[in-house]
């Protein structure tokens, strides 16, 4: 079905354009035309024209070495209302967290089986995390992911648990039963932890930002630090109350 959609989408102009834009992964900065052709499966001539059109519409920049997602796209993305207000409202709380811990602070949402990081703030001495603003990570091996999954409906939960759980490090939890127990505990405690499950040397606490109903989670906040100088448990309370406060603000906002 995914195949199906990919193929169908390439039959429309818009589909082709998006295929080109989405050919850029979180790590790619500039891609030559040939690479775009390879990744999208478009005909060379077509890719050339589409890319040209995208440049004309300021979604791509032309550089010496190929194409690059442009500032116009960045700006457009920043107009997305839901995500932006979330980030804006969260900022003061994230600042507080950073100031107290001086460790890396994340704000993320769940998209299916992955976490999308909306913001990441940190100082000069921040831990070397693989996460990036706009990047993704699997839900099952990150604190944010676990706490969001814990508040998802049963259906989505089992979908993730029954899928394969990729082993990222020796400590990644890949046993569905164990993970399920951890999630139950996370709901109870109001926080989830990660102990080097996505990346060696990284520890993390996360708390959910809940809707007024107290069940569904719209986002999650986390603090991440390196093994050695950082222990997540002492920050559980801080993170939890920051997330709760943000939830309250958002509830007030959507009502008023």
Question: What are the residues binding a copy of itself (CB under 8 A)?
Answer: 9, 12-15, 17-18, 21-22, 24-26, 28-30, 53-54, 57, 59, 61, 68-71, 73-85, 87-88, 91-92, 95-96, 98-99, 109, 111, 116, 118, 120-124, 126, 132-134
Going residue by residue from 178 to 207, which x/- string records binding to DNA, judged by CB under 7 A?
------------------------------
3-state SS, residue 9:
helix
* Among the listed residues 137, 141, 99, the one whose alpha carbon sits nearest the alpha carbon of residue 121: 99
Please give the Cα distance from 101 to 223 (Å, whole number): 8
Nearer to DNA, 60 or 152 (CB): 60
Residues 35-74 that bind DNA (CB under 7 A): 35, 37, 42-46, 48-50, 66
Query: Residue 3 binds what, of a copy of itself, DNA, none (CB under 5 to 8 Å, by partner type)?
Result: none
Instruction: Decide if 109 contacts 102 (C-beta within 8 A).
Output: no
Task: Report in angstroms how near the CB of residue 190 gets to a copy of itself at its nearest.
Answer: 22
Task: Report in angstroms how near the CB of residue 35 gets to a copy of itself at its nearest.
Answer: 14
Tell me: does residue 7 bind DNA (CB under 7 A): no
Instruction: Decide if 138 contacts 169 (C-beta within 8 A).
Output: no
The one-character DSSP state at 12 is: S
Instruction: Decide if 36 contacts 47 (C-beta within 8 A).
Output: yes
* Among the listed residues 205, 208, 218, the one whose alpha carbon sits nearest the alpha carbon of residue 85: 218
What tokens appear for 250 in the block?
């958002």
Nearer to a copy of itself, 96 or 156 (CB): 96
* Among the listed residues 173, 182, 198, 188, the one whose alpha carbon sits nearest the alpha carbon of residue 240: 188
Binding site for DNA (CB under 7 A): 10-14, 16, 32-35, 37, 42-46, 48-50, 66
């Amino acid at each position: 079905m995914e195949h199906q959609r990919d193929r169908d989408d390439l039959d429309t102009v818009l589909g082709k354009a998006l295929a080109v834009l989405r050919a850029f992964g979180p790590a790619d900065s500039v891609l030559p035309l040939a690479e775009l052709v390879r990744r999208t499966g478009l005909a060379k001539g077509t890719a050339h024209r589409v890319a040209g059109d995208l440049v004309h519409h300021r979604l791509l920049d032309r550089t010496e070495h190929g194409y690059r997602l442009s500032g116009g796209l960045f700006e457009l993305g920043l107009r997305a209302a839901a995500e932006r207000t979330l980030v804006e409202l969260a900022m003061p709380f994230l600042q507080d967290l950073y100031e107290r811990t001086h460790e890396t602070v994340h704000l993320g949402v769940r998209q299916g089986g992955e976490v999308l990081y909306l913001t990441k703030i940190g100082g000069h001495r921040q831990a070397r995390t693989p996460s990036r603003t706009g990047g993704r990570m699997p839900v099952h091996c990150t604190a944010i992911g676990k706490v969001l999954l814990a508040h998802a409906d049963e259906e989505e939960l089992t979908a993730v648990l029954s899928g394969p759980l990729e082993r990222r490090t020796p400590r990644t939890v890949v046993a569905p039963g164990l993970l399920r127990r951890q999630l139950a505990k996370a709901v109870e405690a109001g926080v989830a932890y990660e102990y080097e499950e996505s990346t060696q040397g990284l520890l993390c606490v996360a708390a959910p930002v809940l809707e007024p109903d107290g069940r569904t989670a719209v986002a999650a906040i986390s603090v991440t630090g390196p093994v050695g100088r950082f222990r997540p448990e002492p920050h559980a309370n801080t993170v939890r109350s920051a997330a709760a406060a943000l939830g309250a603000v958002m509830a007030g906002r959507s009502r008023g």
